[in-house]
Structure 1
C-alpha cells in the first residue's frame, strides 16, 4: 500500500535536468530524502498494537518520485487497518490520508528546495 502525491510536469522536469547534466543519483538522493521524511510522518501516525506496522513504513529511492510504502506480504493487514474492513469490524484508521493532508504542502516545498540545491551545486542557475 503506497501513498501518492502527484506533481504534474515532474517527469518532464526530471528529464530536462538529466538532459543538462544532472546525475540520476543526485535525483535519487533528493527524492529519497523526501520519501524518508514522509515515511517518518506516516510511521508516527500509524496505529500501534505491536508497532510492526509503524516499523514497516519506508520510502523509495527512485530518480523521479518519492513514494511511501506501508505493508508487504508479511504484513497484509496494512490496507484493512488504514481503510477499514466493516465485515471484520475493523474501523478505518486513515493514517495514510492524515499523513498526506499534512505532508503535501511541505513535500512540494522540499521538492523545490532539493531541485534548486542540485541545480546550484551543478552550477546551472
Structure 2
C-alpha cells in the first residue's frame, strides 16, 4: 500500500509554472534598470566638474536583469575614479558627482522603476 503524502499542495503545478515565468519575465527589468540609470546619469552629467568636458561626455548608463549602472571613466580617462572618490595622498578632494546625481534624480527614477516592476509582476500574475 502506497503512503499518502503528509502535505498535498493544490495548484502546485500552476505555482511551479508561475515561478518559472516570473524568472523569465523579471528579465524584462533590464530595460527598467537602464531607464532608471539613464535618469541618474543625466543628474551626474549636471554635477561633474568640467575642465575639458571629456569626463561629462563619458558618463554612460547600462541595465542588467538585476541592476542599473552608471559608469564613468575608461582607459583613456583614468581620472574618473579619483575625481569622484578623491585621492587624499595626491590632494584631490572627493567630488561624488555620480552618487549625487543619482540622489538628486531619485524622485524621478524610483517611481519609473517601481512602475516597471509592477508591470512585470502584473504580467506574471495575469498568466
State the TM-score, normalized to the length of structure 1.
0.69
Aligned pair 1:124/2:125, yes or no? yes
- For 1:19, the equivalent position in structure 2 comes to 22
Question: Structure 2: how far apart are the matches of 1:17 and 1:46?
Answer: 42
Larger radius of gyration: 2
Structure 1 residue 21, shift from structure 2 partner: 5.3
Aligned length: 108
Structure 1 residue 123, shift from structure 2 partner: 7.3
Give unmatched runs, 5+ long, in structure 1. Answer: 1-15
Going by fraction, where is helix more abundant, 1 or 2? 2
Question: Structure 2: how far apart are the matches of 1:115 and 1:53?
Answer: 32
CA RMSD of aligned residues (A): 2.5
State the TM-score, normalized to the length of structure 2.
0.69
Question: Structure 2: how far apart are the matches of 1:19 and 1:59?
Answer: 25
Identify which of 13, 18, 34 aligns with 2:36: 34
Change in Cα spacing, 1:85 to 1:21, as seen in structure 2 (3 Å) is closer
Question: Structure 2: how far apart are the matches of 1:124 and 1:53?
Answer: 44
Give unmatched runs, 5+ long, in structure 2. Answer: 1-18
